[in-house]
Structure 1
Amino acid sequence: MYAPFDAVLSELGSRTPELLWVIRRTVGDPARTAPEALDRLDAMLPGLESEANPSRIVRIGIACAYVDRLASCRAALWRVVDNGRAGGAIASAIEALFLLANDGFFAGEWDRTLAAIEEGLTLCDDHGYRVLTWPGVFLRGLSTLLGDGRT
């Protein structure tokens, strides 16, 4: 499935953006390819404190989600959510909320998980982002099956 994508990355060689390289390895096949990417991902985490680009914060969060490092992104993801609440990047805020819900789910923090899911789904409905609903719907379903049964 990744052969065509990997071929393009191979052509790019050293011009491949660092974050794209890390995401490919953490999302694509974390069990086998993430170990070589972990050092690079870990090196990006301190920069989240001053990162202003909501899209970059969310993309780093996505890479972290596949290798159990979302806790390192919480503060930055909440900044993305706050930016969206203030009228900023709504799509990024939705993605950040679902990443925070994912983090809460795996930490067993059901109230935090459910609140983030519901806020994200509400934003999807309010702004017409139907495609972005799927992670929230998925997490709400998992919470129903495995959580405390309140959903």
Structure 2
Amino acid sequence: MTGYRLGGIDMILLPLSTYGFWYLMVANFRKKVFEILHPNNKIDLICDEANTVVRNFKNAFSIANPRAQVNVFDMDTKFRSVSYSIKEADSGIFVLKLIQSHDGDTILCFEPEKAKALREMRTYYLIVHPCNECLMPETKEILSKH
């Protein structure tokens, strides 16, 4: 975090994984809250680890940004489930979608049956993204037909 000016940042998003599940920690400076967004209804699996991550983040942030406008130690932590899926693979794709679309206000809720379509859309997005320097010629050919 050193070397960055964080005065104008509303949120920091940190994807995390434990026990095969991905979840997202959001330091929401605008709302002055840490949000733990878990794509599974078993939040108890990650509570201890997530609280440790938040505590470590607070310590590191306060050292790196001693003059920050927000006192991270005053920020509460809220846990939210964003799906009732129990598949490990679903959690990763839901976290990717959260990273792309979380605005700090609206919490998306994912239906497990939508995971396959999201996975396909994310894969397509990553393959055809202009910053992808390694698009194989045969992939370009396949994509140009669709």
Instruction: Please report the TM-score for the alignment, with normalisation by the length of structure 1.
Output: 0.28
- Give the structure, 1 or 2, with the largest relative contact order (CA under 8 Å, sep 6 or more): 2
Query: Which structure has the bigger radius of gyration?
Result: 2
Structure holding more helix per residue: 1
